[in-house]
Amino acid sequence: MYGRYTQDLGTFAKDEAARLRLQEGDTARPRHPSELLEYTQGRCGPCRVCALQCQRFLISKVGEDWVFLILLGLVMALVSWAMDFAIATCLQAQKWMYGGLDTNVLLQYMAWVTYPTVLITFSAGFTQILAPQAVGSGIPEMKTILRGVVLKEYLTLKTFVAKVIGLTCALGSGMPLGKEGPFVHIASMCAALLSRFLSLFGGFYENEARNIEMLAAACAVGVGCCFAAPIGGVLFSIEVTSTFFAVRNYWRGFFAATFSAFIFRVLAVWNKDEETITALFKTRFRLDFPFDLQELPAFAVIGIASGFGGALFVYLNRKIVQFMRRQKTINRFLMKKRLLFPALVTLIISTLTFPPGFGQFMAGQLTQKDTLVTLFDNQTWAKQGISDEFEYLGILEAWLHPRSNVFVTLVVFILMKFWMSALATTIPVPCGAFMPVFVIGAAFGRLVGESMAAWFPDGIHTDSNIYRIVPGGYAVVGAAALSGAVTHTVSTAVIVFELTGQISHILPVMIAVILANAVAQSLQPSLYDSIIRIKKLPYLPELGWGHQEKYNVRVEDIMVRDIRYVTLNCKYRDLQQVLHSTKMKNLPLVESAESMILLGSIERTQVGALLSNQLSPHRRLLTLRQKALSEDGHRLSDPSIRFQISTETSSGTPARPALRKPLKPALKRVSSSPADSPPAGSTDHTGIALKSLFCANATTEPTEEEMILGDKMTPTEILEWEEQQLDQLVDFSSAKIDPAPFQLVEHTSLHKTHTIFSLLGLDHAFVTSIGRLVGMVSLKELRKAIEGSLTGKGVKVRPPLASFRDSTASTTEADTTALHQLWDRHQHHHMPREAGPGGDDDDDTTKGQ
């Protein structure tokens, strides 16, 4: 959320300053009355002035948060409603086709199977072609984006279109897929697009921190308008996407999600689907005695079983993905025919659910929505002894099979849907897993509830009143528990209350959800974290519940001690060596190799730019020209002095504009060995790099003379010249330096480090000890430390009795030594060798240890 704290703060500040100046220029003007004069000159002057002021007023309003949130809520409600409508039409069409062909079972089967296969294949193909980023849930990606990582192409219009159309087709096929995860993604894309659109009216939407706040609100809108559950939506999106949540952004989510849910339900009323605004899956359980105290153990059992089930689901899902990736022959074949896998999976699943076939044992003809409605039903399906008398009304009939009973149907349904859902969610179409899991959980709860009802036909309560057991309540509990276990969230409890419109089962639901979470979290990561790991997204894992031992690991145990650095008094040759020897994106800038005082950090690209500028053909040509001039005219002393002077002057007036863009050829030279530089140098001088440099400078044009002068230099001369250049001291004045990189101390615990990294969205931090750089910790080390594999490269394993080491005496001794070094240095002033080569890759970093 607060990403990019250190990385490009300076850049950001400067950009913002520039932006503000522009903005100030825009908004400062209207205050000046003379500017309006030109309009008043015309015939309809007053009108124009009025219109102008209105326009400005409107534009200023556009910048306010609530306008944005209302627009977002409105758009998302419309999208959600339109999609639901389209999906319902698709499902209706399938039903109609299936119903119309009831004369021939084979035709019926063909229709039942072909329809979803075509839809899924189209969805997969369409998404693949338009935007492959639209595949899958989107919540893992949003979690990563909200942490401050920029994922390319994830919030574009193309992805939006691909996701909306792909999702509609995928859900219209009747496969066990959900719309909730993708909706989080769709809402985020909608927010990103909306803010880009609104920024046409003013610069309000260019602030990145604000955009990320809006993205967080958009996630809430996504869940909120999908389930018409504003509160649950906000909480679910917080739990699923955030690590730290700013309470001041709370209202944004509530505001937008409530508005969106409101519009979403109002559309249903206007469309005459509903009489008034009610819950999506309204239940009618009795209010006066929702459940007996003695039923609570059964609810607890549902919770614990759901915990195991949820963990199993995540495990199964991951194994399927890994299996598909590992089998190289299958993989290679599927890579060629990308659409074969979705088609195959759909074929299998739809064959198994074919109602006259195996589907009759698992209520195959019901859509996901109908299934939920029947599962949450108020009645008891299986009454001991009187099962035959009981009338299965309407769609409830699907659960009844003449040759089996409800329990068998439920068990088959749960088992089949379990692997089907785990398999279906691996299809490369936009789809979520929340709703399928929710349905399975409801079926499991119903199974337990029906069993309880069969066991205690007149309820457990022994008083005068007979309160029968309500299996529908168990279904609600099961749904919340299993979906909570899979997603590792507690807010599914709130979602079920909002979905069913009843809160009377609050305690059973809460108990089951918490137990399910406890079990699932100790066994497996959440589904979204599992996907993050599979996709290798840059995200920091959570510390987990029992992080007691994490307090004992310190930064000094996991940090990389052997880091490359840039000193203030280094030479260009040293820069080259540093670039060769490390791949770090941010290099620490220290005062000198002796003091190791951290001054700031400099980006790798900046170092490359410095180096390429120093070795640029342009500078070489300039040198040549000056040489030629001096040879022709005054015949000055040797060129090395001239170089010195030119460096001094250039540091006073740095040629900044050209520096932002790293120059390709020069950079290539750096990465190649010095031996093959002459040919590279000789081909460079008329290349694009040269031209771009001149164009950027824009004051001096590339004259023929310069070109000729450049050509005059032989490769050997160029090599010589470059070697000379590399021996000069680096002039940092033109480089962008982050003046306050984030610093930790060696004793910071892993727990605290994790907190700080999550809070500020860091991806690296330098470890300092009284100003001296001693190491560095990046996300990689932290992730390794948390995942327990401390044996990686450059990472020290903490000895078993490490905590003994950190006694007060030894700790302070290290501190003292470090301080003494500094102090002694001051006492005796600097040694002459300070001017010597710095930045060579020695192990100075660990000298003070």
Nearest to 508 by CA among 469, 455, 546: 469
Q: Report the DSSP beta bridge partners of residue 560.
A: 776
Q: Provide, rounded to whole angstroms, the least separation between the CB of residue 167 and a copy of itself.
A: 26
**From CA 608, how far away is CA 668, in angstroms rounded?**
10
* Least Cβ distance, residue 769 to a copy of itself (angstroms): 5
Q: How far is it, in rounded angstroms, from Cα 847 to Cα 849?
A: 6
Instruction: State the angle between helix axes of 230-241 and 250-270 in degrees (0 to 180), rounded to the nearest 10.
Output: 130
CB of 547 to a copy of itself, least distance (A): 9
Distance from C-alpha of 47 to C-alpha of 55, rounded to nearest angstrom: 12
Widest pairwise Cα distance in the chain: 120
Q: Looking at beta carbons only, is 292 or 841 nearer to a copy of itself?
A: 292
Would you say 156 or 749 has its CB closer to a copy of itself? 749
The two tokens of residue 124 are 């997969």
Structure tokens at 220: 């809430």
Cβ–Cβ < 8 Å for 89, 174: no
Decide whether 451 or 647 has the Cβ nearer to a copy of itself.
647
Nearest to a copy of itself of 342, 473 (CB atom): 473
- Minimal distance in Å, beta carbon 645 to a copy of itself? 14
SS3 252: helix
Q: How far is the CB of 179 from a copy of itself (least distance, A)?
A: 21
Q: What's the min distance (Å) between Cβ of 259 and a copy of itself?
A: 9
Which is nearer to a copy of itself, 427 or 532 (by Cβ)?
532
- How many whole angstroms separate alpha carbon 454 and alpha carbon 450? 6
Q: How far is the CB of 740 from a copy of itself (least distance, A)?
A: 4
In whole angstroms, the minimum distance from the beta carbon of 466 to a copy of itself comes to 13
Q: Phi, psi at residue 720, to the nearest 5°?
A: -60, -50
What's the angle, vertex CA 601, arms to CA 600 and CA 604, rounded to 5? 160
Cβ proximity to a copy of itself: between 416 and 511 the closer is: 511
Distances (CA, A) of 812 to 119, 270, 753, 820, 825: 69, 73, 21, 12, 20
Residue among 207 and 387 whose Cβ is closer to a copy of itself: 207
Residues 597/567, Cβ–Cβ less than 8 Å: no
Decide whether 188 or 592 has the Cβ nearer to a copy of itself.
592
Q: What type of residue sits at position 353?
A: T
List, edge to edge, every strand of the sheet that includes 764-769: 743-744, 764-769, 772-778
Cα separation of 232 and 687, whole Å? Answer: 59
* Whether the Cβ atoms of residue 126 and residue 162 lie closer than 8 Å to each other: yes
CB of 819 to a copy of itself, least distance (A): 6
Nearest-approach distance from CB 379 to a copy of itself, in angstroms = 16
CA-based radius of gyration for the chain: 34
Nearer to a copy of itself, 569 or 686 (CB): 569
What contacts 158, CB < 8 A, 6 or more positions away?
130, 131
- Residue 4: alpha-carbon gap to chain centroid: 14
Min CB(315)–a copy of itself separation in Å? 21
Bridge partner residues of 195 (DSSP): none
Strands 764-769 and 772-778: antiparallel
Q: Residue by residue, what is the 3-state secondary structure of 428-468?
A: CCCCECHHHHHHHHHHHHHHHHHHHHHHCCCCCCCCCCCCC
The residue among 415 and 759 lying less far from a copy of itself, judged by its C-beta, is 759
Min CB(169)–a copy of itself separation in Å: 31
SS3 769: strand
How many other CB atoms sit within 10 Å of the CB of residue 486? 33
- Rounded least distance, CB 178 to a copy of itself, Å: 22
Between 103 and 548, name the residue whose CB sits nearer to a copy of itself.
548
Q: Of 168 and 283, which CB lies nearer to a copy of itself in the complex structure?
A: 283
Closer CB to a copy of itself, residue 91 or residue 516? 516
Give the integer Cα–Cα distance in Å for 429 and 136. Answer: 6
